[in-house]
Structure 1
Amino acid sequence: MDKFVVVDLETTGHAPKKGDKIIEVGIVLIQGGQIVDQFKSFVNPEQPIPAFITQLTSITDDDVKGAPLFTEIADTIISMCEGAYFVAHHAEFDLGFLNHAVQDARGFTLQMPVIDTVELARIFMPQAPGYKLSQLSDYLHMKHSNPHRALSDATVTGEIFIQLLHKGKQLPYETIDQLMRLQGKLKSDMGDIFQSWLNEKAFAIEERSDLEIVRGLALKRVEDDAEVNEDSMELSTEGFAPFLEEVLRPGGQLEQTLHTFEERPGQREMATTIYDAYQSQQHGLVEAETGTGKSLAYLLPSIYEAITTKSSVMISTYTTQLQTQLLDKEIPMLQQALPCSFRSALLKGKQHYLSLQKFEYELFSTYLDNYDIVLTKCMILVWLTETTTGDVDEIQLPSSGAIFWRKISAEAEGYPNPKSPWFMKSFYQRAKKQAEKAHIVITNHSLLCTDIIHQYGLVQSYPKVIIDEAHHLEKVAAKHFGLKLDYVSLQYLLNGMGGNNPGEWMHSLLTANTHIALKVSIRKWDGCIQSIKEEADDLFRYLFTYVSKQRDANISFNDVGRYQYRYEPAKESSRVWSTVKEMAGRLTFQLKDAITMLEQCKQGIHTQEDSEETSKWLEDIQMYVDRIRDTIDAMYYLLVDEGEPLVKWIELEAQGAKNAVFLYSEPIEVGPLLKEAFFEHKESVVLTSATLTMNESFAFMLERLGLSKEETIQRKIASPFNYNEQVQLLVPNDFPSIKGHNQEDFIHATCEAIYSLATLTKGRMLVLFTSYEMLKKTYYVMKEFMDIDEFMLIAQGVSSGSRTRLIKNFQAFDHAILFGTSSFWEGVDIPGDDLTSLVIVRLPFQPPNHPVYQAKAEKIKGQEKNPFMALSLPNAVIRFKQGFGRLIRSSTDRGLVFVCDDRLMKAKYGKYFIQSIPKVPVHYASTHDILQKAEQWL
């Protein structure tokens, strides 16, 4: 069947059963791989169109007033659908709505095979950045002239569908064969289409030269790295200063390559400072304000140092966004511009890379597969024909797919087995080899800290390291030096091992190695796993009940609304904690039983012939033994041990399951640990960020990281932007106090100010909160008193989607206001006219009862210092600087910063905030007056 009708409907809402109606139909007919016919019509819904639908589609009541009723066009639509596949973007919605209307008009429903282009795009284009129609049309460089109009959407969907079919048809026989095996659990009826492709390919002689087939899997062929002419890696300059001059001067190498390149004095100063740190083998702190161009400023001395000393420099970032920017933009530009060749590589943690060995095993184990897992398998099969890295960050997995990934990542392999047929194809091993050969190795803080703590040796070979986004290093290191234990992860571990059900790991182990059954009874194993689950459930429920009853100062809320309770085993109720220890002991005993049985399995397999199969089982067993031991250790240190100087806390969701409990611990001071495990082993570590100082001083950051002023080079690089002309800082003096029971009044005043300011700036506003609770309350108050179509309100935690998705949605609307907390204070880059005002609702002080802050404050008090001045204020100032930095991202940006918290002007410590940001005009007056000032300035 080679006929496809692509349908898009605009409707009054999402629920036909509740009376929602079709207001516009768009259909395109595809035959022979091209659009051959089309149909469009408004439909009279015989009811008013809601305002938000008109705002979205621009279809008004007047447009549909004289339009035909659905019953008048039903036969035309039915006729077009005869003998065709039904194709739509979110087919379930369009077909469901259409069938409801056809049933009402003609008394029957359309029965036809269905293809959902969202699902098909996920499978055939696994590396697309998103699967909305607009995202796919951008990705495929298609013109989408009239979004949210039926015929325009149907046409674009049809064009995307044609491309998807074309791409699917190019896949190798092996990949299509695997997809055919999985397609029964997909939403789209692709069986006949896959079969026709297989029939065509069965007799084809030509094979794709860019692919290789290994054990039935089609993989992108990766050529061995070509030998590089080492002479091209020589630098003929007389030193770093002449090299830097030749690269950065007007008309120099960078300007010749990148015609928009502008010389920045701060960039030159920063590059020279870093090179000096390398030469003197000192550590350095460099604060580079927005616009400095810090990426190039640290890449240039690092490349020069690596080439001239024939060594490597490691660069660690906090966000994948910055990693991508370095790899896709800055490094290729320098490889083109510089008079020498250099190699670069990206190295991430094992959990980022696909294990082909694990994927092969899971691909054929389909007993427990749900829809998301089948979809994930299909995506990965196609992705394997495209990827050379196997890095999960390249693809957009569905929600359950992210959990499935843990089973098939390189981390799940345990120890590498050189005898495995997959060892030479390992994505992780390849990434490690490339890193060993590279001059510049880019990694992330998480892998850096994992390696420091576990001493895997990845970081040891790099004597010089750049830490970008360095204000995050303490937080990431604390997390890695600490421990975590939770019920969900323990359940995941137990379910991964499984029991006596076909398709589960333990069943497969005993079935493949029948002789072990003499040593390990499956019934005994099942009993042990069941006991572990019951003991764990009892323990975590007991902790949930205990924390729920606490009403003291140790309870706080984090920014996603979880309860946090700081506990100290020695100071808790002795009756309660002796019960906790007893329960933890019983659980430990059961876990040790499981280890004993796994060790017996291992001994039984050791007696077998050495083969690929036995190696795989031994690897798996050892991995599970190690994970159970880690769980036992974590439980001991978190619940039993009282000697370690750690801060420990419990988190639970007030509305969550009664066993959804999370236990955490962190060292109170990370600095000494970092110094001993990291800084003392490096020739030179340069830490850089836009926010490292408070009041022109690096003292706070030096102390937190365990460094001394005498052993480090410190430099503050000013921004090239003219903040005095580009920004106005507005602080109202008439806001109600938030103390006591006045929060509602404060929120109402905030909403009025946001609304008035947004009216001046036509939206384009980011509002930063310190509390998720206040964000939600403000959002709903704004919704109440604002006209529905005035501004598009987008709020973290309320509107669905990731941070990146929310920012893209914000930029897509002309009049939008974006509410954010926590992660929105930094890393949000919205340049130009998309963002013209920033509202900071409260100064970003950590809650005084936050577990980690509380423990650090107690330690500082014990040293006879003031915790507010030594800890709380510097943290808040650095956070404030990050928030302030969201507004001006280029030399042409202009905007307003409105701070609702008048402590900025009234409190003695307010000057530290103002002195730590660039000099800008500050207006402190009534809300009415400063808004007038803003209007004049705009």
Structure 2
Amino acid sequence: MNRFVVVDLETTGQSPVKGAQIIEVGMVRIHRDKMIDQFSSYVKPDHDIPNFITSLTGITNEQVRDAPNFEEIAEYILDFIDEDDYFVAHHVEFDLGFLNDALKQHGFRTIENRIIDTVELARIFEPMAPGYKLSHLAEHMGIVHQNPHRALSDACVTAEIFIRLMKKVKTLPAETLEHLYRISGKLKSDLSFILSDLTDEKRFSLEERKDLEIYRGLAIKKYTRPLTTERHVPCTFGELLDDTFNEQGLLSTHLNQFEIRDGQRRMSEIIFDAFIQHTHAMIEAETGTGKTLAYLLSALYYAVYENTRVIISTYTTQLQSQIMDKEIPLLKKIFPIPFNAALLKGKRHYLSLNKFEQELQKPIDEDNYDVVLTKAMILVWLTETMTGDVDEIQLPSSGKIFWKKVNAEADLHIDPKSPWFSKNFYQRAREQAQKADVIITNHALLCTDLTNDYPFLPPYRYAVIDEAHHLETSATKHFGLQVDYVSIQYLLSELVDLAENHRLTGTLEILEYIQMGKERADELFSYLYQFVLNSCEDHVTSNDVGRLQYVFQPQQIDCIHDILELTNRFLSSLKQIEKWLLKIMDQSFDDEQLQEAIEKKRDEIFSLMEHTENFMKYDGQKQVKWIEIEATGAKNAVYLYSEPISVAPLLRKHFFDQKESVVLTSATLTMNDSFTFMQNQFGLSEEQVMARKIPSPYRYDRQVKLMVPNDLPHIKYDSEKDFVEAVSQSIYQLAQLTQGRMLVLFTSYQMLKKTYYALKNMMMDLEFVLIAQGISSGSRSRLQKNFQAFEQAILFGTSSFWEGVDIPGDDLTSLVIVRLPFDPPGHPAYQARSAFLKEKGKNPFMNLALPHAVIRFKQGFGRLIRSSTDKGVVFVLDQRIISSRYGKYFIDSIPDVPVLKGSIQKLLQEVKDWL
């Protein structure tokens, strides 16, 4: 019978090489799925505990002053861990490495036991967990964590997680365990013996899981197709709203903190009216309205009542999933009529079981760790998922490359004769969409469908566009193009592998053409690189990540004939490659996978030719084209971009004019109470659209104060160095009054970095945790969770942090907006759109730059107050909001709040008195 010892250490730092030492040890022994023994002790280090470690763990210098030295407890640690025990830890390499380093330093034998890493174990056997930090797993499994970052408490929680994971492993079928056993040799954890024993047990067991089916050696979740039933609408829409939104209504019985919001009902009514009247609508629903439930309720009722279909589109796939996982189950409980809702994303989001089976059958010799881990995760995930949607799991970094091989996009043709056709996740999603009353999709897929000959989405006439301020961005991206040197070389190298590995007809000849294509790509892109580098400074700008940008206007370039000649030489090579691929495609192959790979490469070569040719063409003022180069990078590090100058006519022609009613909603659609800017962006006239504004239920006048220091350097007239220094000092002083709990928003990543490092030096002796986008590792949601996990934290963000960050309660009490969020005036797209507006007799600043900035400012402002009990301050460190003529547009576009101006010291006193 296997026995396990779970170990957790608290240390003064991350690396013993840099002098970090153990300050606490916690150990728990497990036998027969029970904790049977434990040990814990403080350890006295040779130096003081750093402040941030005390802040994190609560362990002080006083607590360890009389504790034993490590060598005094080393023998006890070694006695506690028998040589046959598994050494278990959360991030086992850290704990075992640290412990062995200390043992070696003090002359003791090291621990050479078999190991299990509970991070790895959780990733494999809880593939749908929201995160793999100890706290995230504990919350996910409903385990109470009494004293986080204390050794024994962490060890006990790790032990409980381990016990539950091992119980789950025992429920898996033999087929899954066999596959896991075959690849387990490349994992960190020594799972081979455990998996082998369990597989043998399962082979002789008569127990079968009724929720699974075994198909071609894979265990997958059984799927039940949605039923279509006759439906009777038992009430009017008004009656449904009465039953839903009153104090004793349907929502109040299913939501713990339900509050009646007049705006929520009003929004539902407006959307229903727009559908009934077959008109488009724009609804600005301010923070706290509850817009998601409002639009879902109207969309569902109208879809069922009229026996039609309504599309719900969001900007991110994360919000799509949130609606499907949170709001739809709630509506299933309260909606008086049975309904079907479906989630539909692009093909690359869905697993291809056909491709995954092929990859599983390959030897794992050349697979790296991340690929093996990803295979293991997917094997277990298949016993749980009904959708095959990759957003349900968190793939390791190299696992995302493996996913490209096994997603549905890798399956060019879905052959009805394929053994996996009936189990195809992407086809399943489309089938569900065909039968759905509402389909939840995203802007990218919606825009792709607008001009697609073979649409992903079923036909529809009604739509609700959430986060509608992003629709123009998504459409611009869809109707634009990008070509870059690295992608071209990667594509051509893949073709070399394809030709050589399969010994295709004419391989020697085509390898010459591919090599010629590589050389000619290098010639073209090296020439473009040098051209941009040598161009007059008046024509070249620099973006935030240090790339040089050049607006490409073929008719104004002296050396355009040289560029076009090099382009034609490159295209000529691609044409030869395409001809060879077409010739190969006419042959018949026994290997279906090879046939698909050849067809895919032909499509990619054709697309590359088309994009390159279109970029070099002069097409009047329809497109803005620009070249970006890595100024300090390789001499061919070149990117070609093209975007429509305006997508308004395209959106109107391909979308709005094709639909009966489209409802556009967001918290930020107006500037100074006017919808004009966004209407123009969408190509809609005032007569075409019903425009309404739903005010927030929050009492901003009581919950927020807006403060503008008037004695800081002016961003426009003073040096950036002085400005950054003043910003850092202001944040430093404010943070001490608010105990951190601060979000700082930047418009420039360079300024974020400079401020972060300045504050890091200032706060070295203080117990603040600084978390910065692009510096601290992790996604936006991960950084947000880390921010909320610490008592005194400051979160620095740019771009994506201006919206989508939701931190209610006391975790966030201050918001700092460093600069008004104007787009960079030197960006080629902005320059082209400005010129376009000037030609039409319009002011580019008032009709483009200012509205964009005001809407972004509103998004940033909305980060602070996320509930009716929140309270906080907003500091705007850009004096232009009070000193410029246009500053009032920013202030007038947010809810009415007290605006305080004065010296930074005076305003800090106001904060102290108020908070």
TM interval, short-chain normalised: over 0.9
The correspondence of residues 702-721 of structure 1 with structure 2, limited to 5 A, is 702-721=679-698
AA in 1 matched with 2:284: E
1:149 is displaced (CA, Å) by 2.0
Contact conserved, 2:51 with 2:765, CA < 8 A, in 1?
yes
Structure 2 counterpart of 1:100 = 101
Structure 1 counterpart of 2:346 = 349
- Which string of whole-angstrom CA distances, capped at 9 and with x for unpartnered residues, describes residues 488-535 of structure 1? 433443455552xxxxx556645xxxxxx4x333x4444444444444
1:549 is displaced (CA, Å) by 4.6
Secondary structure, aligned partner of 1:342: coil
The correspondence of residues 341-490 of structure 1 with structure 2, limited to 5 A, is 341-365=338-362, 366=364, 368-459=366-457, 461-490=459-488
Distance 1:926-1:46 versus aligned 2 partners, 3 A rule: closer
Secondary structure, aligned partner of 1:262: coil
Q: Could you tell me the TM-score, scaled by structure 2's length?
A: 0.95
Distance 2:470 2:831 in 1: 19
1:52 is displaced (CA, Å) by 2.4
Pairing partner for 2:602 from 604, 625, 650: 625
AA in 1 matched with 2:680: E
Distance 1:557-1:140 versus aligned 2 partners, 3 A rule: farther
- Which string of whole-angstrom CA distances, capped at 9 and with x for unpartnered residues, describes residues 121-173 of structure 1? 11111111111111111111112222222222222222222222222222111
The correspondence of residues 695-844 of structure 1 with structure 2, limited to 5 A, is 695-740=672-717, 742-844=719-821
Secondary structure, aligned partner of 1:688: strand
The alignment status of 1:184 with 2:181, answered yes or no, reads: no
Distance 1:662-1:401 versus aligned 2 partners, 3 A rule: farther
The alignment status of 1:918 with 2:895, answered yes or no, reads: yes
Contact conserved, 2:817 with 2:875, CA < 8 A, in 1?
yes
Distance 1:96 1:352 in 2: 38
Tell which deviates more after alignment, 584-593 or 708-717: 584-593
Secondary structure, aligned partner of 2:770: strand
Structure 1 counterpart of 2:668 = 691
Identity of aligned residues (%): 56
Structure 2 counterpart of 1:3 = 3
Distance 1:487-1:379 versus aligned 2 partners, 3 A rule: farther
AA in 2 matched with 1:585: N
Distance 1:738-1:371 versus aligned 2 partners, 3 A rule: same
Structure 2 counterpart of 1:129 = 130
1:862 is displaced (CA, Å) by 0.9
Distance 1:556-1:245 versus aligned 2 partners, 3 A rule: farther
Secondary structure, aligned partner of 2:164: helix
Distance 1:123-1:933 versus aligned 2 partners, 3 A rule: same
Distance 1:6 1:494 in 2: 50
Distance 1:94 1:548 in 2: 50
Distance 2:50 2:129 in 1: 33
Distance 1:176 1:460 in 2: 39
- Which string of whole-angstrom CA distances, capped at 9 and with x for unpartnered residues, describes residues 192-236 of structure 1? 2221112212222222221112222111111222x34313xx213
1:324 is displaced (CA, Å) by 3.2
Distance 1:707 1:460 in 2: 25
Distance 1:746-1:240 versus aligned 2 partners, 3 A rule: same
Structure 1 moving runs of 4+ over 6 Å: none
Distance 1:755 1:644 in 2: 48
Distance 2:800 2:180 in 1: 39
Secondary structure, aligned partner of 1:893: coil
Contact conserved, 2:3 with 2:85, CA < 8 A, in 1?
yes
Structure 2 counterpart of 1:887 = 864
1:754 is displaced (CA, Å) by 1.7
- Which string of whole-angstrom CA distances, capped at 9 and with x for unpartnered residues, describes residues 834-862 of structure 1? 11111111111111111211110010111
Contact conserved, 2:732 with 2:762, CA < 8 A, in 1?
no
Pairing partner for 1:587 from 567, 570, 576: 570
Tell which deviates more after alignment, 250-259 or 470-479: 250-259
Distance 1:401 1:544 in 2: 33
The alignment status of 1:566 with 2:551, answered yes or no, reads: yes
Secondary structure, aligned partner of 1:160: helix
Contact conserved, 2:746 with 2:798, CA < 8 A, in 1?
yes
1:806 is displaced (CA, Å) by 0.9
Q: Could you tell me the TM-score, scaled by structure 1's length?
A: 0.93
AA in 1 matched with 2:264: Q
1:718 is displaced (CA, Å) by 1.4
Distance 1:255 1:33 in 2: 42
Tell which deviates more after alignment, 721-730 or 422-431: 721-730
The correspondence of residues 266-277 of structure 1 with structure 2, limited to 5 A, is 266-277=263-274
Distance 1:284 1:533 in 2: 51
Distance 1:492 1:174 in 2: 37
Contact conserved, 1:417 with 1:615, CA < 8 A, in 2?
no
Distance 1:530 1:380 in 2: 38
Distance 1:698 1:349 in 2: 31
1:733 is displaced (CA, Å) by 1.6
Distance 1:151 1:449 in 2: 53
1:286 is displaced (CA, Å) by 0.9
1:254 is displaced (CA, Å) by 3.1
Tell me how many residue pairs correspond in the alignment. Answer: 913
1:110 is displaced (CA, Å) by 2.8
AA in 1 matched with 2:169: G
Structure 2 counterpart of 1:159 = 160
Contact conserved, 1:564 with 1:649, CA < 8 A, in 2?
yes
Contact conserved, 2:52 with 2:767, CA < 8 A, in 1?
no
Distance 1:267-1:107 versus aligned 2 partners, 3 A rule: closer
Structure 2 counterpart of 1:138 = 139
Q: What's the Cα RMSD here?
A: 2.2
1:552 is displaced (CA, Å) by 2.1
AA in 2 matched with 1:784: N
The alignment status of 1:934 with 2:893, answered yes or no, reads: no
Distance 2:889 2:661 in 1: 31
Structure 2 counterpart of 1:48 = 48
Secondary structure, aligned partner of 1:111: coil
Pairing partner for 2:585 from 585, 590, 602: 602
Secondary structure, aligned partner of 1:151: helix
Distance 1:139-1:909 versus aligned 2 partners, 3 A rule: same
1:456 is displaced (CA, Å) by 2.8
AA in 1 matched with 2:162: F
The correspondence of residues 659-698 of structure 1 with structure 2, limited to 5 A, is 659-698=636-675
Secondary structure, aligned partner of 1:454: coil
Structure 2 counterpart of 1:513 = none
1:460 is displaced (CA, Å) by 6.0
Tell which deviates more after alignment, 801-810 or 458-467: 458-467
Distance 1:449 1:544 in 2: 32
Structure 2 counterpart of 1:314 = 311
Distance 1:103-1:934 versus aligned 2 partners, 3 A rule: closer
Distance 2:767 2:112 in 1: 42
Unmatched tracts of structure 2, length 5 or more: none
Distance 2:327 2:650 in 1: 33
Distance 1:333 1:386 in 2: 22
1:390 is displaced (CA, Å) by 0.3
- Which string of whole-angstrom CA distances, capped at 9 and with x for unpartnered residues, describes residues 797-839 of structure 1? 1111111011111111111111111111111111111111111
Contact conserved, 2:55 with 2:767, CA < 8 A, in 1?
no
Tell which deviates more after alignment, 66-75 or 470-479: 66-75
Contact conserved, 2:434 with 2:458, CA < 8 A, in 1?
no
Contact conserved, 1:674 with 1:705, CA < 8 A, in 2?
yes
Contact conserved, 1:559 with 1:821, CA < 8 A, in 2?
no
Distance 1:255-1:153 versus aligned 2 partners, 3 A rule: closer
AA in 2 matched with 1:704: Q
Tell which deviates more after alignment, 355-364 or 12-21: 12-21
- Which string of whole-angstrom CA distances, capped at 9 and with x for unpartnered residues, describes residues 607-635 of structure 1? x6xxxx55444333222211121111112
Distance 1:584 1:31 in 2: 70
Pairing partner for 1:867 from 839, 844, 858: 844
Distance 2:702 2:621 in 1: 53
AA in 2 matched with 1:568: Q
Distance 2:767 2:108 in 1: 42
Distance 1:364-1:267 versus aligned 2 partners, 3 A rule: same
Distance 1:430-1:492 versus aligned 2 partners, 3 A rule: farther
Distance 1:629-1:824 versus aligned 2 partners, 3 A rule: same
